[in-house]
Amino acid sequence: MNMMKTRPFKQVDVFTAQAYAGNPLAVVLDGSGLDDAAMQNFAKWTNLSETTFLLPPTEPTADYRVRIFTPGSELPFAGHPTLGSCHAWLQAGGRPKAPGRIVQQCATGLVPIRQDGERLAFAAPPSRRSAPSPSLLAKVAAALGLKAQQIVAAQVLDNGPVWFGLLLADADTVLALKPDHRLLKELGQKVGVAGIPERDDQPSPALISRSNREARAFARSDADDIALEVRAFAAPIGVEEDPVTGSLNASLAQWLIPEGHLPAHYLAAQGQCLGRAGRVHVLRDDDGQVWVGGDSVTCIDGKVSL
């Protein structure tokens, strides 16, 4: 106890403009002098999906460095900790080297973040994807209670965190899922499931060919319409369902936009089944870079002894 130091601390709700409707994040604004064990122990104690520790950067172009911990392990990158940590850093008086652009250093590398008013958006890191084996797909589908005809497409997505990604025939099926989390844990698979809501003027994506890609990209007139419903099941890391998941939404965008399932600019919803109202703003720019953005709200502002 005598070795403890009082450090500035915030708890931030991410991917929401309304407090307690998004995904909470614990942020220790001064992680200097803490070893891996101390960081991991505190992350386990907060019992949030992620806890971050801010440190001086070691890369000359970075504004700050962040380490990201779940209750059980360290992550090389994660989306909602990126936005929440940046929000906390700016609110605590952080000044980026370039106005309107922040560069975060994490284990994955340098992650650019841009400001659009109060909203922040990170540049999605490169994502690798591959087709899952048919046997593993069948096991994951069984753990989710899905039939083969309900699955439009499947990919293993990797942008640091690895997600078994599934696109389902519609959003209602996504929201109705009741996974067997024990089986998902045994399989060692974090699973991200997405579905496109049906509209009166737009049939299910399973019925639309890729040749209609351009027509679908401009099918919606209301920019606030939800274009994708997302759920994230992460039993292998002790989180049965994550409220709102930036890394998963980034990988989904990098997969589904080029495949023609979604337009280059859309709004995703996540967390409804947990009583949350997460909103993820996705944009693929003219250079092909995917930006994942959202609002953040500080719910706790104080100090912690560590």
| Residue whose C-alpha is closest to residue 249's, from 75, 144, 124, 66 | 124
Query: What is the Cα–Cα distance from 201 to 153, expressed in whole angstroms?
Result: 23
What is the secondary structure of 186-244 as a DSSP string? Answer: HHT--EEEEEPPPBTTB--GGGS-GGGHHHHHT--S-TTS--EEEEEEEGGGTEEEES-
The C-alpha torsion from 16 through 20 and 22 to 27, rounded to 10°, is 100
Per DSSP, 249 falls in state H
Q: What are phi and psi of 66, to 5 degrees?
A: -130, 140
- Tokens 């389902």 sit on residue: 168
Structure tokens at 150: 């309900």
| Residue whose C-alpha is closest to residue 211's, from 259, 149, 155, 282 | 259
The C-alpha torsion from 150 through 154 and 159 to 160, rounded to 10°, is 80
> Is 50 labeled as catalytic in the residue annotation?
yes
Of the listed 50, 59, 118, 198, which one is catalytic? 50
Residues designated catalytic? 50
